[in-house]
Amino acid sequence: MIKIAIIDDYTSDASTLAEWARLPDNYRVDFFQEHITDLEELIAMLIEYEILVVMRERTIISSELIAALPNLKMIITSGMYNAAIDFSAAEENKVLICGTESSGVSTTEQTWALILSLTHNIVSEHNHMMNGLWQQSLATELNQKNLGIIGLGRIGLEVAKIGMAFGMNVFAWSQNLTKDYAEQNGINFIKSKEEICEISDILSLHVRLSERTINLITKQELTIMQDHAFIINTSRGPIINEIDLIEALKNQVIAGAGLDVYDSEPLPKNHSLRKLNNVVLSPHLGYGTKELMTKFFNQILENIEAYIANQPIRVITEPPHRSTYS
């Protein structure tokens, strides 16, 4: 029996989102919901599996883990980018890595869900309504406000377009962004990270996690933001220094934060962010829609079928960056 492990299936939906019965009778798929961080527990759980299916960057697939799994022949990740996999160790142990196509739609929508929740006090006013109260605060309009985008890739550009539809003044900066590209998309080009932090009423982050972007936003950047400003992160947690962010929120250096991603996921139960009243938190829903997961698991199934036919597809041969998780 050839065994396939699908781990970090938080919502227990993986078993229903693809036709796993298409696989030959000698292939068995097991689904694991509990997130495990202990290396020895992971090894014990996965020791018998030939194919390991992971959700992007939920679990660290370290060199130690890969080396300790003698049957492992293939890792499939959602998306074509996973900074939590040790690619060198996979290559050394002759483990094939494949991925799936992705979409920025859900992340774009989640970004705007957080922005609107913060500026219109949706969470707090909902709680007031459920407690019998009526209109305890004033919302903030988006029209004519400054939206700062750090990272004008596929998702950043879509977020910017929606900002323009709200009548916002949209600005963008990143280390690789050119003035021509920004302006041809109708977006104001900003020369420095400091300037975009200073002028933004809402600052939204849309860069990949890499050595260049870890701690991209620290106390220094938060301090120069306006005290009425909001920061949004739907990219990766470590892009913002979490300790500095918590301190800034506690001291009301900025008005609030909308977060869908964290240094540690799932977010620990007693984490300091859970105790703040000027945040809107969501559990990485930008990577958790029915449509996106259906796409992932159907392509994961296709990858397994191609592997069985000895014609692998969507092979990832090189890491996009050296892992910041290892």
**Residues tagged active-site:** 236, 265, 284
Contact 198, 226 (CB under 8 A): yes
